[in-house]
Amino acid sequence: MQITLAPMEGVMDHQMRQLLTAIGGYDLCITEFIRVVDMQLPAKVYRRHSPELYNDSKTASGTPVRIQLLGQNPQCLAENAHQAISIGSDGIDLNFGCPAKTVNKNKGGAVLLKSPEALYQIVTEVRKAVPVFQTLSVKIRLGYEDKSLAIENAQAIQAAGADELAVHARTKAEGYRPPAHWHWIAKIKDAITIPVTANGDIFSVDDAKRCMEITGCERLMIGRGALATPNLAQAIKGIESPNSWPEILNILEKYMFVQTHGDQEKYLPSRIKQWLIFIKAQHPQAAVFLQQVRTIKTTQEMLAAINQEQLRFK
């Protein structure tokens, strides 16, 4: 079994990757996408998105990190893929699944799922730029407005030379609304021969088991589930029981000291509240706690609130 930590724009930055991979169970991380328009980006852009490049493209706990690119210009994407590989990225991932309106308006992300030929051209050019010993992976959704091109898109991506395909089991139009259509991942897996990673609505060990049974995939990608239960990968692999609410409080406290992004007084309290929104989906206590801290604006106040909540379980 392989479990990948999914990219989540504005959430899964390098410090969150560091924290979650230290907890364990993740075999690979994909970075937040780097937007490619019409030029080769300087190395510093890649290193800013993925400081792990200074550590052989691995998190501090040794989990490989792969740069993800998003764009629509085949040649420009190829040039940037070559740049990312040259400075040490553990392979390249292409994002054809982002549902964001701004991204799709600019002909990037999921809008490209309307054209299997466009996918083929992009992957072909990027494959030429990525050495055969480096993995070229691709992330898609089931389609843009409907699923009519799901299999054709997957086949075009394989034919163009991709090594792996990750599939989020919804269309762009479906966003993140349940359910995830895992049976469609099974159809895609049956239609191609490269490894397929299943993604979407994996929030628990039972979800993971059902997803693997329905899709036939032994590779999973988790994002929101990893935030809701930080040791979910370990739990899926049968190494640990899923985190309890008191254990999550300890992880939140640890994050307060791991995180070093920008202005701590403004950034950290907002980041903790953002994280609690994901956690409350699996832990009702987090919803109550979120209401208690929603007006907190300073790091010290947030840390004090976490410590006070921890005392309830000691």
Residue pair 85/130 in contact (Cβ under 8 Å)? The answer is yes
Residue range 162-195, pLDDT digits in tens: 999 999 999 999 999 999 999 999 999 999 999 9
Question: What's the whole-number average pLDDT of the chain?
Answer: 93
Determine the pLDDT at residue 258.
67
What pLDDT does 97 receive? Answer: 85
pLDDT at 313: 86
pTM of the model: 0.93
d(Cα 303, Cα 310) in Å, to the nearest integer? 11
Distance CA 184, CA 200 (A): 12
104 or 97, which is more confident: 97
- pLDDT tens per residue, range 194-219: 999 999 999 999 999 999 999 999 99
The pLDDT value recorded for residue 105 is 55
**Catalytic site positions:** 98
CA distance 23 to 36: 32
Residues 6+ apart with CB under 8 A from 18: 59, 60, 61, 258
Contact 258, 19 (CB under 8 A): yes
57: tokens are: 């493209």
pLDDT for 107: 62
- 68: phi then psi, degrees, rounded to nearest 5: -110, 135
Per-residue tokens: 174? 């479906």
Between CA 198 and CA 188 the distance in angstroms is: 10
Of the listed ranges 22-26, 36-40, 80-84, the one predicted with least confidence: 36-40
Instruction: Please say whether the beta carbons of 312 and 288 come within 8 A.
Output: no
Binding residues for FMN, by number, are 68, 139, 168, 199-201, 223-224
The neighbour count for residue 145, using CB atoms within 10 Å, is: 13
Mean pLDDT value across residues 64-81 = 97
Confidence of residue 257 (pLDDT cuts 50, 70, 90): confident
If 0-12 CB within 10 Å is exposed, 13-18 middle and 19+ buried, where does residue 273 land? middle
Which residue ranges make up the annotated binding site?
A: 68, 139, 168, 199-201, 223-224
- Looking at residue 101, its pLDDT comes to 61
pLDDT for 124 equals 98
Q: What is the CATH number of domain 245-312?
A: 1.20.225.30
The pLDDT, as a whole number, for residue 181 is: 98
The domain 2-237 is placed in CATH, from the list 2.40.10.220, 3.20.20.70, 3.40.250.10, 3.40.1410.10, at: 3.20.20.70
Task: Output the pLDDT for position 22.
Answer: 96
What value does the CA radius of gyration of the chain take, rounded to a whole number of Å?
19
267 versus 248: the higher-pLDDT residue is 248
Q: What is the pLDDT of residue 210?
A: 98
- Is the distance from CB of 228 to CB of 278 less than 8 angstroms? yes
Q: What is the model's pLDDT at position 68?
A: 97
| Chain centre distance of CA 221 | 7
The pLDDT score that the predictor gives to residue 256 is: 83
Distance of CA 145 to the CA centre of its chain: 22
Looking up tokens 């059902």 gives 210
**CB 186: neighbour CB atoms within 10 A?**
18
- Check pLDDT > 60 for residue 264: no
pLDDT tens, position by position, 135-164:
999 999 999 999 999 999 999 999 999 999
Q: What is the pLDDT of residues 47-70, one digit of tens each?
A: 999 999 999 999 999 999 999 999
CA dist., res. 201 & res. 215, Å (int):
13
The separation between CA 23 and the C-alpha centre of its own chain, rounded to angstroms, equals 17
Write down the domain spans for the chain.
2-237, 245-312
